[in-house]
Amino acid sequence: MVRVSLKVKLLHIETGGINIVVLNDEQAKDMDLKHLDRARVQNGRNPIICSVDITKVAVKKGEIGLFVEPEEKLKVKDGDILMVECVSKPKGLKAIRQKLDGKELDEEEIYDITRDIVNDALSDVELTAFIVSSYCRGLSLEEIYNLTKAMVKTGEVLDFGKGPVFDKHSIGGVPGNRTTMLIIPIVASQGIKIPKTSSRAITSPSGTADTVEVLCPVDLPKKKIKEIVDKHNGCMVWGGSFNLAPADDKIIRVEKPLSIDAEGQMLASILAKKISVGSNHIVIDLPMGPGTKLPTHERAEHLNEAFINMGKKLGVKIECIESNGSQPCGNGVGPSLEAIDVLKVLTNEPSQPKDLRYKSLLFAAKIFEMSGKAKKGKGMELAQKVLDSGKAYEKFKNIIKAQGGNPNIKISDIKVGSFIYEVKAECRGIITMINNKAIADIARAAGAPYNHGAGLFVKAKLSDAVNKGDLLMTVHAESRIKLLRAVEVLESKKVFTIQ
């Protein structure tokens, strides 16, 4: 096998995840390497496998150009010497070809693919081939089971010992919907362990982690997360803060531009992340309605059954709740505005969003009944008592403080964008439809989630009677330019239907 010493040339270009090195075309010919072949690269430390790109100009013979990802993993600088040798293509590639042909993959084949994804051994083209084949060919229950196990095995895990550990997840698609930040303190205040790792926004105006970050840090090390949960029974942290089912994030990175969300990969993704944080009891929110992932009751029932069957195979108790996903949940859309909604509910403000309160209580009630804290049918009563008594708010403040935030933050302390645009009713009537996708697009155009104060305050809800000129929604931005951009998006879309 050809092995050569090459001088490092840093290219200062990020790939978004994959390890890529660049060789001069003459150098590549000498080493019998072609475009997208693999090379093992090392400097005395652990070697990494990289995809090879080839150039005639950017890198000279005797040099190796490094993108940012291999640069950071190898910890090298310009002029350092690396040992480079060609290696065979990843083992998982054969399995990907078989999946493209419609073959059902076994446990070893699924593991090979997952390991290659985690090790950045697959090019974007190869990873896309796996995702598309899973989308078009589908994944059997056994394949989903093996993919879930492989995702857990190739990442880190948290262990909270014996006993029930709960989690809650929503499959998404509903703006606002910040129920997690209410469910966690309600449940944790009653001695139930519920370590919550959440995602940042990818295409939405805010992920749970983005909204929590308005109040406290969410990027915490594994050891700190365990300490917080051991002491307070719950946490609200970013799942990317440690190596939690890392294959999932890499799959999502490719899925999003294609607008693909293969059911099998979604099931494996959700369950792998829950199992990785020690959860053995999971409640899943299935928002249903126009514009959501579940436009019909039949589709929701199908996914409900799939989750329950997977839970049985994995030894995890799963219950699903079909919820109304036809409009935003709460008034705020965007990190700061959503955080305000949460504080209003916790402090029982008269202007609190009643739909957010009710939905949060519904899920907390389900967890109380699953845990045995409340008898069947009595969970809602306990959840309301915990919220109204202030116990949930106290637990919330304890968790915020433990994560490094200010537990006494007030609603007036949370800044929202001062550049505003009001959307008013153009006629009298009843609101019969609200376009969730348009609301998300407008909030993102205003700067959410990157500008925490950007987003929308959605005052009007379905079935509301309005008169011409009534306020329906307020757009908030942190700059005039972003407000103008949001208004441009707003004017190109129909947000409210009034009849």
DSSP string, 178-220: -THHHHHHHHHTTT-BEEEEEPPPSSSS--HHHHHTTTS----
Per DSSP, helices labelled H in 329-477 are 335-346, 354-371, 379-389, 391-402, 436-445
* More confidently predicted of 257 and 303: 303
Give the mean pLDDT of 243-257. 84
- Say yes or no to pLDDT of 257 above 80: no
Q: 376 and 294, same structural domain?
A: yes
Residue 158 in any domain: the answer is no
Predicted confidence at residue 381, as pLDDT, reads: 98
Pairing of strands 429-434, 317-324: unpaired
| Cis peptide bond N-terminal to 449, omega within 30 | yes
Cβ-based neighbours of 472, under 8 Å, separated by 6 or more: 423, 424, 425, 431, 458, 459, 460, 466, 495, 496
Residue 210 — pLDDT band, cuts 50, 70, 90? very high
Residue 1 — pLDDT band, cuts 50, 70, 90? low
Instruction: Tell me how far apart the alpha carbons of residues 211 and 178 are, in angstroms, rounded to a whole number.
Output: 8
**Mean of all residue pLDDT scores within the chain:** 94
Count of domains in the chain?
4
Structure token pair of residue 479? 């700059």
Q: 176 and 293, same structural domain?
A: yes
- Say yes or no to pLDDT of 44 above 70: yes
Pairing of strands 317-324, 281-288: parallel
Instruction: Tell me how far apart the alpha carbons of residues 442 and 312 are, in angstroms, rounded to a whole number.
Output: 41
Numbers of helices and strands, H then E, in the chain: 18, 18
Residue 295 in any domain: the answer is yes
Distance of CA 216 to the CA centre of its chain: 18
- Cα atoms found within 13 Å of the Cα of residue 193, Cβ hemisphere only: 21
Least confident of 195-209, 251-265, 377-391: 251-265
Q: 367 and 218, same structural domain?
A: yes
Q: What is the pLDDT of residues 4-19, one digit of tens each?
A: 999 999 999 998 778 8
Q: What is the pLDDT of residues 305-351, one digit of tens each?
A: 999 999 999 999 999 999 999 999 999 999 999 999 999 999 999 99
What is the domain extent for residue 59?
3-87
Q: 323 and 183, same structural domain?
A: yes
- Say yes or no to pLDDT of 119 above 90: no
- Say yes or no to pLDDT of 296 above 70: yes
Instruction: Tell me how far apart the alpha carbons of residues 166 and 92 are, in angstroms, rounded to a whole number.
Output: 34
The CATH number for 432's domain is: 3.90.1170.30
The CATH number for 216's domain is: 3.40.1030.10
Active site residue 285: no
Give the mean pLDDT of 220-245. 92
Q: Does this model's pTM top 0.75?
A: yes
Q: 433 and 306, same structural domain?
A: no
Structure token pair of residue 423? 């959307």
Residue 143 in any domain: the answer is no
Q: 480 and 384, same structural domain?
A: no
- Say yes or no to pLDDT of 259 above 80: no
Q: What is the pLDDT of residues 58-91, one digit of tens each?
A: 999 999 999 999 999 999 999 999 999 998 888 9
Structure token pair of residue 3? 């092995």
Burial degree of 6 (CB within 10 A; 0-12, 13-18, 19+):
buried
Q: Mean pLDDT: which of 4-18, 180-194, 279-293 is highest?
A: 180-194
Instruction: Tell me how far apart the alpha carbons of residues 450 and 335 are, in angstroms, rounded to a whole number.
Output: 9
Residue 372 in any domain: the answer is yes
Predicted confidence at residue 121, as pLDDT, reads: 83
Structure token pair of residue 254? 């490719």
Q: What is the pLDDT of residues 429-467, one digit of tens each?
A: 999 999 999 999 999 999 999 999 999 999 999 999 999
Q: 100 and 68, same structural domain?
A: no
Strand partners, 238: 198
Structure token pair of residue 286? 């299935």
Given the residues 124, 261, 464, 470, select the one marked as catalytic: 261
Give the dihedral sign, CA 276/265/133/304: positive
The CATH number for 28's domain is: 2.40.40.20
Choosing from 45, 62, 87, the residue where a domain stops is 87
